[in-house]
Amino acid sequence: MRALLLLPLLTFGAYADAAPKNVIYMIGDGMGPAYLTAYRYYQHQLAESQQQTSLPIANTIFDDLLTGMASTYPDDDTLVTDSAASATALATGVKSFNGAISVNRQHIPIGTMMQLAKQLGKANGIVASSQVNHATPAAFVSHNVSRRNYNAIADMYFDYRINGKPVADVILGGGTDYFVRDDRNLITEFKKEGYQYADSWQQLSTLSQKPAIALLDKTGLPAALNSKQPQQLAILTTKALELLAPAEKGFVLMIEGSQIDWCGHDNDIACAMAEMHDFAQAVAVAKAYVDANPDTLLIITADHETGGMSLGADGKYLWLPEVIQGVTATGRKIADELNAASTDEAALSRWLALTNITLTPEEQQQLLAQRGKEQQALRDVAVKLVAKYSYTGWTSSGHTAADVPIMAYGKNSTDFHGFMDNTAIAKQLIRYISTTQP
């Protein structure tokens, strides 16, 4: 399958000197405006509780970098996009249908900015807290009519070549199940191609040069709230920049905070805040790189909003982040632990230990009634109780058509001020990439 590669949109010359050499493109999957607001107040409450004193509400790194808003609608019969169509828009500058991985309505591949970068001698990297062949990273380096064709997408990471090489020079995240299969071992093939490989956090430090690939879990990485590895995304971002920085003609690096979206689908506010913090720490790493390398542009946005989150619910003028801070596990983990408890009494004890929320007798019975059933049923009750006590509202278990934030920092960041469509973000980045000097 050969993509219709995007042609350079501007000629070489004075503009090339003004264009950033490196592009760091960060996508908070599902990160609508309310997520940024929630994270600000969540961090504020955390700071007050740690210092045990009243403090003024401080900006987060997202607030400091905010420059505009973007629309996200797909080329489909709806205004609500999925991650594949939105990632296609963010990677190619062209809208497509929900489920599409950088193909148009006629299923013809659309060239991506990373494919163009590779053609022009730049290096490329993808980092994700999901499996690396999930919708968003996939749209930057591959093509498929369905995001669900995970094995075929993984195959394309190796098989699709530009100048005789795979598109991505650095691939970091999860997804071993799709790259080491009974029918094909892609890791063996990547190694023969010269890629260094790591399959654990301990081995990550052994990656000393590109090309390199690290798959650190079977599918996605553990949820940040459950993980034994702190700052997962920040560590991967640091490693990706370390591997890509020597690129003579610069690089394009896409970093996805994938599981913000997964928490939104679950309507799990504690999970969402932990993923936002994990993403914020990665943003701080990227910002520090720009400070040290001013020929770099950092762009941060979201592919869509997930869950229709609101801060305040049930007609009450309240939102209580201190309740959320007391929750130390995702709804999924809470459900697993309650189901594993030997008695109802033990289950209620685990609930209190994991959430610090004291339930009424009626709520206890509501929770216990789901024990022994499928995890989702118990998880749904658990996250609804956390939402109730924190006064968090959710309108959907899916995506919404809400506009999403744009943040920009570094060289040419002023080109991303105000309102833009998601395709306009990609088109501007493609203009920069296309000015690579021969």
Residues acting as catalytic residues:
83
| Consecutive H or E run containing 237 | helix 232-244
3-state SS assignment for residue 136? helix
Q: Residue 416: CB partners within 8 Å, gap ≥ 6?
A: 67, 68, 299, 406, 408, 425, 428
Task: Indicate the length of the chain as a whole number.
Answer: 438
Do the beta carbons of residue 87 and residue 139 sit within 8 Å?
yes
Helices (H), 105-231: 113-119, 135-141, 150-159, 176-179, 186-192, 201-204
Of 303, 223, 310, 299, the C-alpha closest to 259 is: 223
| Consecutive H or E run containing 332 | helix 331-340
Rounded distance between C-alpha atoms, residue 375 and residue 416, angstroms? 43
Q: Residue 9: CB partners within 8 Å, gap ≥ 6?
A: 427, 430, 431, 434
Helices (H), 257-360: 259-266, 269-292, 321-325, 331-340, 344-355
Give the position of tokens 């490196």.
22
3-state SS assignment for residue 404? strand
Do the beta carbons of residue 27 and residue 21 sit within 8 Å?
no
Rounded distance between C-alpha atoms, residue 273 and residue 288, angstroms? 22
Instruction: List, in sequence order, every residue forming a beta bridge with 128; answer none if it has no partner.
Output: 256
Q: Which amino acid, one-letter code, is at 345?
A: E
Rounded distance between C-alpha atoms, residue 166 and residue 123, angstroms? 11
For residue 403, what are the CA distances in angstroms to 209, 248, 308? Answer: 38, 37, 11
Alpha-carbon radius of gyration of the chain: 22
3-state SS assignment for residue 191? helix
